[in-house]
Structure 1
Amino acid sequence: MFRVASRVSCTSASRVYLKLIFSRSFALSWKSWMSIHSLIGDKNIVLMGPPGAGKTTVGKIVGQKLGCCFIDVDDDVLEKTWNMSVSEKLKDIGKEQFLEEEGKALLSLSVSGCVVSLTGSNPMHAASMEHVKKNGIVVYLDIPTPSIMNRLKLMKVDRIVGQGPSTSLKDLLQFRKQFYKKWYDVRILCEDGITAVAVAEKVLHAVKRYQDSESEGLISTRSLKGDEKGQQKHSIKYFSDAVVEGLAPDGGLFVPLKGLPKFTAGEWQCLLGETYAERAQLILEKCIHPADVPASELWAIIEAAYGQNFACPKIAPVRHLTNNQFLLELFHGPTASFKDLALQLMPRVFAYCIPQSCNYLVLVATSGDTGSAVLDGFNRLSETDKQRIAVVTFFPENGVSQIQKSQMIGCQGKNTVVVGVKSDFDFCQSAIKKIFSDSDYTGFLTVEYGTALSAANSINWARLLPQVVYHASAYLDLVEQNIISFGSPVDVCIPTGNFGNILAAVYAKTMGVPIRKCICASNQNNVLTDFIRTGLYDLRGRKLMRSSSPAIDILKSSNLERHLYQVVNGDGALVAQLFNQLENHHYFQLQKEFLEKLQQDLVADWCSEKDCLGAIHSVYNSTGYILDPHTAIAKVVADRVQDKSCPVIISSTAHYSKFAPAILQALRMGEIKQTPLSQLHLLNSYKPLPPIHRGLLETVEKNKQQSHQVCVADVDVLKEHVEALIQKQFMKVF
């Protein structure tokens, strides 16, 4: 087997390094050096990236910092194997033979505890990459293509492996990205102007993160403060565990123990020009430890989620509405609502994370759109996954639009059912939480049927996290459209009921997106508006009012708990106290200091039914654009709240066709006392629906005679439906 040059160079480097260690000018103590050196042990750090990425320069710096050998595959492996320069070898043989010879040479490399710099084309040879990954952590130095082309121009490199007369350098660099994505363990975003020393520091930090999977645990919003190694240790969960469990055992919601990762301004700018899927990958891999979902698996999940299932190639496009208002269109997915952005991805993450030895029943409470999006997402899983995952969705029988109901019924499958509950969404959501917290019942399901429960509402961290992506992507789109320069602030205005969508925007701001204010837009169920203004969350004497924007007909906002945990500086005991008081006494009051902190990010207002329908009418008359009732709520509130000093991005959360009666009423287009099918046909004749949404016509037609299960508002009755589906879907354990 090939070993680098000889041990002499390694020994010499070690002697030099030891002299540095004991010199007064050397900053690190022996103890800290040992700590850094133990970072990799017998593992290699393998640097991968395009020509001009700085692999050699960065690799030498990393090697010096760790006191270990640096190996440049070009100089120390290929040229010594071939006894000629790489450029000479490339001239002698064609591309395919060169890649094969290059791969064979790399297969002979057998070292450990070293820093290795690959060639730009090594990742195109699968066998050799599998070889280096066995004993290496592959670090991808990801540099935007324009920056690489500028570097290569300065280096006077005009040809790389695979480039020919018919292939431009830009196209070749883009082509190679698919191979880099396949092999890396961690990625380093290298923004314009970053120094090699700074990149080396990023490499060390990333490798440390990769080696320390316990550093990124999640904890309940109701966990007590204490020593992480003592009091909290038993309650810290890995990402995959939090995804599978859904709700924390103490009734709280999972949040990252150490908060969300931060992107620098330069790193965000690296995402300019990238597709939505690529942005999702870059953001989510910083939030999900590779020990839970490796980068290559995450990319496969993201490609499946956003590849062919959305009508618009931009996935979540931003379009100008009027003046400095912009619409973030979140309705281009298969069920025509913003829930698709998370629920095309979350079921695939869930299926990847669950252990093979157990069946899972996913419980869902919906105020309308979540139901069909969950069912559609889980129905797209493989047949193997569907054999061990079932879904039951509870919704308020009279609290969703007829089209939403028909859509949910139409999305049922052999392992998925919907159940109408004679109550409101708040009951459905509270009932699910009670089922989760009933340890006797969940234990019975596990013992009797080998089945565990999980959740797909935004109480599940894997459901909420993907929503951060579209808020960040919208900002980047405005930069690309030259509406703003990077760093200029924007406001976001979001129709809000359960607080998940707006919380995702707050998280995007926390991660470094220049969002100034998150505007909470309520309908007549304006408990959130009152709370953000006064700090008093008060349900005493308040009853839910039905509206034409049913997705935000909510009084108990689950995800508010996550934000309050952040506002009160991680005081889980205080969070538990506040929400226990809400449960038992139907109100709580936030202290003044925390209210002021809350209001640094949030402002709020609400909109009446009359004003909502009026906005739909006036916007259509002035622009020809039809808003759905939820987006109209946000439009009215944005008009009132924004100070016009910066653009506002309004989240357009659903396609208007799902709320045909309200649209017909607002636009005065016809008699609204029609069947859902005739309402959709009328809308389609007035303004043709996009192809993906014309599927709603087929769904309603198909299911106009189909029945569904309906039950009374009793937790025990909901439990009976849960067990009935388990009995139907899964075998008993004997």
Structure 2
Amino acid sequence: MGNPGCGKTTVGKILGEKLNRTVIDVDDDVLEPTWRMSVSEKLFDVGGERFLEEEGQALCNFPTPTKSVISLSGSNPLHQKAMRHTKQNGVMIFLDVPQTDILDRLEKMKVDRIVGQEAGIGMAEILNYRQSFYEKQHDIRVTCCSGDTPEIIASKLLSALKNVHNDPGYVSTRGSDCDQPSTFLDTVLQGLAKDGGLFVRSTELPTMPRYEQQRLIDMNYSDRALRILHRWINPLEIPGGQLRDFVLKAYSKEAFQDAHVAPVRHLEKNQYLLELFHGPTASFKDYALQLMPQLFSKAVRNNDKHSKYLILVATSGDTGGAVLDGFRRHSGTVFNDTGVIVLYPLSGISELQKHQMTTMDGRNISVVGVNSNFDFCQSTIKQIFNDIEFNKTMKEQFNTKLSAANSLNWGRLIPQIVYHASGYLDLVKQRVIALGDEIDICVPTGNFGNILAAYYVKMMGFPIRKLICASNSNDVLTEFFITGCYNLRSRHLLKTSSPAIDILKSSNLERLLYHTSGNNGELIKNLYQDLQDHNHFSVSEEHLRKLQSMFVVGSCSEEECKSTIVQTLKNTGYLLDPHTAVAKTVADRYTSDVPTLITATAHYGKFGDSMLPWVDRHCVSDYTSEVVLNRLNDMSSHPPLHLGLKDMCQKPITHTVQCQPDIQDITKYVVDIARKM
């Protein structure tokens, strides 16, 4: 399907010949034999509205032969009943040809049989109207380049069909070549692989050619997201039209305060900020967690609708609030049987982060403060997942399965790919660079999921030169990328003003090591066994050189973080949060002759209790959260006050459960929640 003039008829004939299938052109083989007049005569005889109804009815009555190629009319997708009937019999492929090409072709063809023409509507307006129907109805999109011949389009279409029907699936980072791959929806439900590894693509990573990147430049965030995500999600699992619905719901104006969703702002010199704090909880985690609950819901409906699910989450500050809001906001009927438990370190996050989570309302969510650090919370959840007997008991006694919503879950990670790609495209759109020019991306890094998503963008073919991995005083990653040794033997977690990256065990590093080792699951299994047994592992010199060819690293002390916030406010009038300040501090040390896109991961308001004394000499220690936010906003209107944080300050605390760092106590709490579901 596609707009008039996109080449459906010619491409359909080529496809039929190559696949040895019957070719049916709806105009020539269905409509005109049914009406016994030409399509243009019918249109001008009955008018546009009646034409669409009779056209749709004719298609519904047509007995579709098996093993056929059907070239729809340009207006067929405007009739819902006809499209439901047609989609039952096959895969719907959208030939997405640039509108400029369509208009040129229609002008040359002197086409006079398009619904809307009889009413005097301009052709560009007709095409724009129809585009939304093609977006709703398609399963697979074939993106065409300006000037593509029918032969080229047919070749792209055959390649797309081959890719979706031969999807390699997902395997564990610790698995072997003989392991049975999982589907995308399986990975979303399971969270972790059964052997304790993380799910990854089993073969090559998806790519996006330059001409497709070009098509994305003038699109909004949701349209970019749809096209990028379908490089990673098999449309036979989540068809394009359904994924579009998920994306539009996730990145709606009700959830995100900025119309651009993830805008790029110039900071100073050659540095630009990718603002990722405009979502409901003022954190970059919102960009994944407004979408992931919908993917999870789809997975439950498709794969396991008779089981209950309990999602366990460890948070270093931002993930918890975003998970709670995402599952609460997007909880359809399936979530009547889905619960969420968030574990957070009692003294390891900011007061505003804690208040945000403990005031979140929702009947299916629970929040537990643990008198320990994030690493304990995360390792506890991993132990619970890997306890085969416990999971068996949960299923047998409560019909409940466990899953994850941290970036350990593949469905949580891939939405983050979108905003790094979108940031690059915005730099092109703003004419900072030309398409194909390189940039560097700097990311404040703890669990390694955010910067891993940027790595995937680089692997897709976007011109990312260096990935700058910025750590705070917990600089285990800095040491690793310099020495090749991941060493926790003499380390203790330090509390900093950037708590979301106060992490020593960076879980998503495992995925990077898998990809850069040639997908060597046995090696990764041994490395992480060494980490578990001896608190360290080392990679080979060759492996280290490969990592160093892509990554630049650095760390930032507390004093440097404070200085960067104060100095940036003075120089630019922009108030950074501590995590973004960590990234800027490290980026400042790396002399770059290309633009650096700094990932601004949170709004400053979430860390006002630690930041306010740095920028306001007259502050006192007993300010309420609302006063802290207002005083910080008085210091700078860039970025503006986050309304969601302001509203949160008025809410009463509803989650008061706290516990000691005892895995048995936490396990009992999990059982209690499962019993009540």
Q: 1:399: Cα distance to partner?
A: 0.3
Correspondence 1:118-267 to 2 at 5 A: 118-157=72-111, 160-163=114-117, 167-212=121-166, 215-224=167-176, 226=177, 231-233=178-180, 236-267=181-212
CA distance in 1, matches of 2:501, 2:191: 22
Q: 1:695: Cα distance to partner?
A: 3.0
Match of 2:218 among 273, 278, 287: 273
CA distance in 1, matches of 2:153, 2:561: 51
Note if 1:710 corresponds to 2:672: no
Amino acid corresponding to residue 537 of structure 2 in structure 1: F
CA distance in 1, matches of 2:599, 2:509: 18
CA distance in 1, matches of 2:437, 2:110: 36
Amino acid corresponding to residue 444 of structure 2 in structure 1: P
Correspondence 1:672-711 to 2 at 5 A: 672-675=620-623, 676-687=625-636, 693-703=642-652, 708-711=656-659
- Which residue matches 2:291? 345
CA distance in 1, matches of 2:286, 2:118: 42
- Which residue matches 1:418? 367
- Calculate the TM-score normalised by the size of structure 1: 0.88
Other structure's SS at 2:515 match? helix
Kept in 1, the 8 Å contact 2:52–2:78? The answer is yes
Q: 1:77: Cα distance to partner?
A: 2.7
Note if 1:86 corresponds to 2:33: no
Gaps of 5+ in 2: none
Deviation sequence 1:469-513 (CA, Å, 0-9, x none): 111111111111122111111110000000000000000111121
- Which residue matches 1:466? 415
Other structure's SS at 2:367 match? strand
Query: Using a 3 Å threshold, how does the CA distance of structure 1 residues 290 and 701 change in structure 2: closer, same or farther?
Result: same
Kept in 1, the 8 Å contact 2:310–2:338? The answer is yes
CA distance in 1, matches of 2:152, 2:614: 57
- Which residue matches 1:25? none
Moved more, 545-554 or 71-80: 71-80
- Which residue matches 1:66? 19
Amino acid corresponding to residue 7 of structure 2 in structure 1: G
Amino acid corresponding to residue 244 of structure 2 in structure 1: W
Match of 2:315 among 366, 369, 372: 366
Amino acid corresponding to residue 283 of structure 1 in structure 2: I
Moved more, 303-312 or 283-292: 283-292
Deviation sequence 1:143-185 (CA, Å, 0-9, x none): 2333333333344448832247774433322221221122222
Other structure's SS at 1:519 match? strand
Kept in 2, the 8 Å contact 1:222–1:575? The answer is yes
Q: 1:693: Cα distance to partner?
A: 2.0
Q: 1:623: Cα distance to partner?
A: 1.4
- Which residue matches 1:322? 268
Note if 1:109 corresponds to 2:71: no
Deviation sequence 1:583-611 (CA, Å, 0-9, x none): 11111111011111112221111111111
- Which residue matches 1:663? 611
Moved more, 369-378 or 193-202: 193-202
- Which residue matches 1:333? 279
Other structure's SS at 1:286 match? coil
Q: 1:211: Cα distance to partner?
A: 3.8
CA distance in 1, matches of 2:319, 2:602: 11
CA distance in 2, matches of 1:679, 1:369: 19
Kept in 2, the 8 Å contact 1:664–1:672? The answer is no
Other structure's SS at 1:136 match? coil
CA distance in 2, matches of 1:539, 1:677: 39
Kept in 2, the 8 Å contact 1:216–1:289? The answer is no
Other structure's SS at 1:287 match? coil
Q: Percent same amino acid among aligned pairs?
A: 49
Q: 1:690: Cα distance to partner?
A: 7.6
Which is greater in Rg?
1
Kept in 2, the 8 Å contact 1:261–1:286? The answer is yes
Q: 1:304: Cα distance to partner?
A: 1.4
Match of 1:511 among 460, 466, 487: 460
Q: 1:252: Cα distance to partner?
A: 0.4
- Which residue matches 1:654? 602
CA distance in 2, matches of 1:665, 1:144: 54
CA distance in 2, matches of 1:165, 1:602: 59
Query: Using a 3 Å threshold, how does the CA distance of structure 1 residues 707 and 387 change in structure 2: closer, same or farther?
Result: closer
- Aligned CA RMSD, in angstroms, stands at 1.9
Amino acid corresponding to residue 442 of structure 1 in structure 2: N
Q: 1:669: Cα distance to partner?
A: 4.7
Kept in 2, the 8 Å contact 1:143–1:270? The answer is no
CA distance in 1, matches of 2:59, 2:654: 62
Q: 1:672: Cα distance to partner?
A: 4.9
Correspondence 1:453-602 to 2 at 5 A: 453-602=402-551
Q: 1:370: Cα distance to partner?
A: 0.4
CA distance in 2, matches of 1:339, 1:293: 22
Other structure's SS at 1:453 match? strand
Q: 1:646: Cα distance to partner?
A: 1.2
Query: Using a 3 Å threshold, how does the CA distance of structure 1 residues 325 and 169 change in structure 2: closer, same or farther?
Result: farther
- Which residue matches 1:18? none
Kept in 1, the 8 Å contact 2:192–2:409? The answer is yes
- Calculate the TM-score normalised by the size of structure 2: 0.95
Q: 1:652: Cα distance to partner?
A: 0.4
Other structure's SS at 1:313 match? coil
- Which residue matches 2:354? 405
CA distance in 2, matches of 1:383, 1:182: 20
Other structure's SS at 2:549 match? helix
Kept in 2, the 8 Å contact 1:613–1:662? The answer is no
- Which residue matches 1:39? none
Match of 2:248 among 303, 313, 316: 303
CA distance in 1, matches of 2:46, 2:146: 35
Query: Using a 3 Å threshold, how does the CA distance of structure 1 residues 591 and 693 change in structure 2: closer, same or farther?
Result: same
Query: Using a 3 Å threshold, how does the CA distance of structure 1 residues 707 and 202 change in structure 2: closer, same or farther?
Result: closer
CA distance in 1, matches of 2:307, 2:357: 27
Paired residues, number: 671
Deviation sequence 1:624-644 (CA, Å, 0-9, x none): 11111111111111111142x
Q: 1:281: Cα distance to partner?
A: 1.2
- Which residue matches 1:8? none
Q: 1:556: Cα distance to partner?
A: 0.5
Amino acid corresponding to residue 276 of structure 1 in structure 2: Y
Q: 1:649: Cα distance to partner?
A: 0.7
Moved more, 681-690 or 194-203: 681-690
Correspondence 1:612-631 to 2 at 5 A: 612-631=561-580
Deviation sequence 1:641-685 (CA, Å, 0-9, x none): 142x21111100000011113331332353251243332232244
CA distance in 2, matches of 1:420, 1:545: 18
Deviation sequence 1:684-707 (CA, Å, 0-9, x none): 44446988723323323323x656
CA distance in 1, matches of 2:610, 2:642: 17
Note if 1:390 corresponds to 2:336: no
CA distance in 2, matches of 1:66, 1:201: 12
CA distance in 2, matches of 1:453, 1:345: 19
Other structure's SS at 1:137 match? coil
Q: 1:430: Cα distance to partner?
A: 0.7
Amino acid corresponding to residue 507 of structure 2 in structure 1: S
Other structure's SS at 1:555 match? coil
Query: Using a 3 Å threshold, how does the CA distance of structure 1 residues 706 and 387 change in structure 2: closer, same or farther?
Result: closer
CA distance in 1, matches of 2:428, 2:110: 31
CA distance in 2, matches of 1:291, 1:60: 24
Gaps of 5+ in 1: 1-47
Other structure's SS at 1:332 match? coil
Other structure's SS at 2:24 match? strand
Amino acid corresponding to residue 713 of structure 1 in structure 2: P
Q: 1:330: Cα distance to partner?
A: 0.5
